[in-house]
Amino acid sequence: MSIRQPAVEGLFYPANRDQLKNMISGYLSEYPVSGDALPKAIIVPHAGLVYSGVIAAAAYAQLAPYASKIHKVVLIGPSHRVAFEGLAVPESTEFATPLGLISIDQELKRRVLELPQVIEHEGPHAQEHSLEVQLPFLQLCLKDFELLPLVVGDASAANVSEVLELVWGGEETLIVASSDLSHYLDYESARRKDDHTSMRILNREYTLHGDEACGCRVLNGLLKIAVGKDIGVERLRIANSGDTAGDKSRVVGYGAYALH
């Protein structure tokens, strides 16, 4: 048994358990709990929580009425630090956060490793924040779940969608796709670009580029499946760091979406 220790606690989110719980609970409290439909997948941003946490919470708040139904989470995000081809699952058997340990779903891991584009490699996971910042949200929003963490390197929409298709499951399985939108434009330019990208996401266009979303390969794979299964995309909230905690001269865009 091996544990992947947090890499960005104290940087992207508080290292103190109570502070972290209070911060996320505060973000979640801003959204009404509707319970209209269980999302099959959500798209969430992955910056420091002071920047993007309140936007991510718009998607996580959708899970509250269904917390006891979801037992498997497939968490997929882009690699920011390690260049590689395909998708990587970790060697670790558990992921740690200040809120406790999360077990890796060994059955799902074995299943995806049968595909040639999936490798077992701890390197892409060790310092990756795109997955890590989602973990405390999941721990607070769900009751009892196992995790399949996937870091995406150089992979086509078909490569990614094939992996997701294999672990799609039923209502017990939630797909969480991690991606920010535009990076380092001025406030108004970012708003225009992110609005255009958001329309592309809502139209399920799986030809997004890196200047539109850093997790473009993640989103393209998910949107390709959404087209194939005729699943709609709902926009929950879109904003940027200039709206939350940042300078308006150079912002990062964030969007939260649900796929029903």
Counted domains in the chain? 1
Q: Locate all alpha helices (DSSP H) within 61-186, ordered by sequence.
A: 106-112, 123-126, 129-132, 135-141, 157-166
Q: State which amino acid sits at residue 132.
A: E
**What three-state secondary structure class fits 161?**
helix
Per-residue tens of pLDDT for the chain, all 260 residues: 899 999 999 999 999 999 999 999 999 999 987 767 899 999 999 999 999 999 999 999 999 999 999 999 999 999 999 999 999 999 999 999 999 999 999 999 999 999 999 999 999 999 999 999 999 999 999 999 999 999 999 999 999 999 999 999 999 999 999 999 999 999 999 999 999 999 999 999 999 999 999 999 999 999 999 999 999 999 999 999 999 998 999 999 999 999 99
Instruction: Determine the structural domain holding residue 200 and report its residue range.
Output: 3-259
DSSP 177-188: EE----EEE-HH
Neighbours of 165 (CB within 10 A): 13
Q: What is the CATH number of the domain that holds 97?
A: 3.40.830.10
